[in-house]
Amino acid sequence: MGREHHAHLRAAPGVRAALLALLALLLLALATVPAGAGSHGYAGNTGNTGYDGNNRGGDAARAVRAHEAARERVERLRESDALASTIKDAERRRRTVRDGLWDRLRAGARGSGDPVAVDPSGRGGRCRFGQRSRSPQPQPQSKPQSQPKPEPESEPKSEPKPASESESESADESRADRWTAPMRRYWLSAGYAAKGSRWARRHTGQDFAVNSGTPVYAVGTGTVRATTCGDGFGNQVLIRHGDGYFTQYAHLSRIDVRKDQRVTAGQRIGLSGASGNVTGPHLHFEVRITPYLGSEVAPLPWLRRKAVLVSGTPAAR
């Protein structure tokens, strides 16, 4: 950003004034967000896993809000036919906010044993699927390939940096315009940011109450970022989407996808279950701006922005 940007500032005081005004607006927008809004219990459903979230307090919540404000700005600029360079600057700002949070959360997640950070290779392949589900429905279309191959033992070195993830965003963007709900029939149970004894702070996702063995679908086109098992989230799938967001599907009884697998909107990725720290079978669905706990956004408004309406009553098929 440096050289070109600074030259620009020197050459055009008008542009500089405009940029400062935009910055002021952004700060104002951030300041007017109520302090409690978006505060989250990163330790969703993980009360006994040792995630203490030392580094995921108000700082992370503020960064997430800053990211969402930056994203809204990018979208407004796109809609208003702004100059390409203006949009690019705004997009760069969004990614800078996210990348800073990304690095911090990743370091903290590794330290606290979050399997997504500790073993992003997707050792889900080693989980014994199905043993936790009480009455899985027979799935006629299930294939033997749904048992992923074990991953190599070696410590994965290929943890993608935000930069490489960012690069793939634009490439995916045009294809990732179809979105869907993660389940077909459900009751909504615990909502985002709900308080309760089950969560260290607040609930970090949206729960869909369903019987074990109910198909779970990718909400959009993307790539499986990780499949893990054994922590409070039980068997979980994390998908990276073309718009830069991640969706998490937890407590599954079975995982049908492998790390790095491409998935499309509505593709079945597993079956719901009661694995991990739960009081009953349900899907825990989360939307994050990084792969890590502590960067989640409100999932239902996020789906609504993609024209996916999730209501409290069982959805018609």
Angle at 271 between CA 140 and CA 315, to 5 degrees: 95
Give me the residues paired with residue 188 across strands.
208
Which C-beta is closer to Zn ion: that of 65 or that of 251? 251
Residues that bind Zn ion (CB under 5 A): 45, 205, 207, 284
- Shortest reach from residue 251's CB to Zn ion, in Å: 8
Beta carbons of 300 and 308 less than 8 angstroms apart: no
Closest CA to 286 of 270, 302, 272, 271: 302
Q: Which lies closer to Zn ion via its Cβ, residue 45 or residue 227?
A: 45
Taking the alpha carbons at both ends of the chain, their separation in whole angstroms is: 49
CA dist 196 and 241 (Å) reads: 30
What are the CA-CA distances from residue 169 to residues 117, 120, 221, 223, 310 (Å)? 21, 19, 12, 11, 25
Closer of 205 and 244 to Zn ion (Cβ)? 205
- Minimum Å gap between C-beta 205 and Zn ion is 5
Q: Give SS3 for 36.
A: coil
Indicate the residue among 121 and 211 with the shorter CB distance to Zn ion. Answer: 211
Paired sense of beta strands 268-271 and 234-241, if any? unpaired
Nearer to Zn ion, 45 or 121 (CB): 45
The helices-and-strands tally (H runs, E runs) of the chain is 7, 11
Whose Cβ is closer to Zn ion: residue 123's or residue 284's? Answer: 284
- CB closer to Zn ion, 166 vs 212: 212
Name 228's bridge partners.
236
Least distance from Zn ion to the Cβ atom of residue 190, Å = 6
Least distance from C-beta 278 to Zn ion, angstroms?
8
What are the contacts of 297-305 at 24+ separation with CB within 8 A? 297/38, 297/64, 297/68, 297/245, 298/38, 298/192, 298/193, 299/192, 299/205, 299/206, 300/191, 300/192, 300/206, 302/245, 303/179, 303/181, 303/219
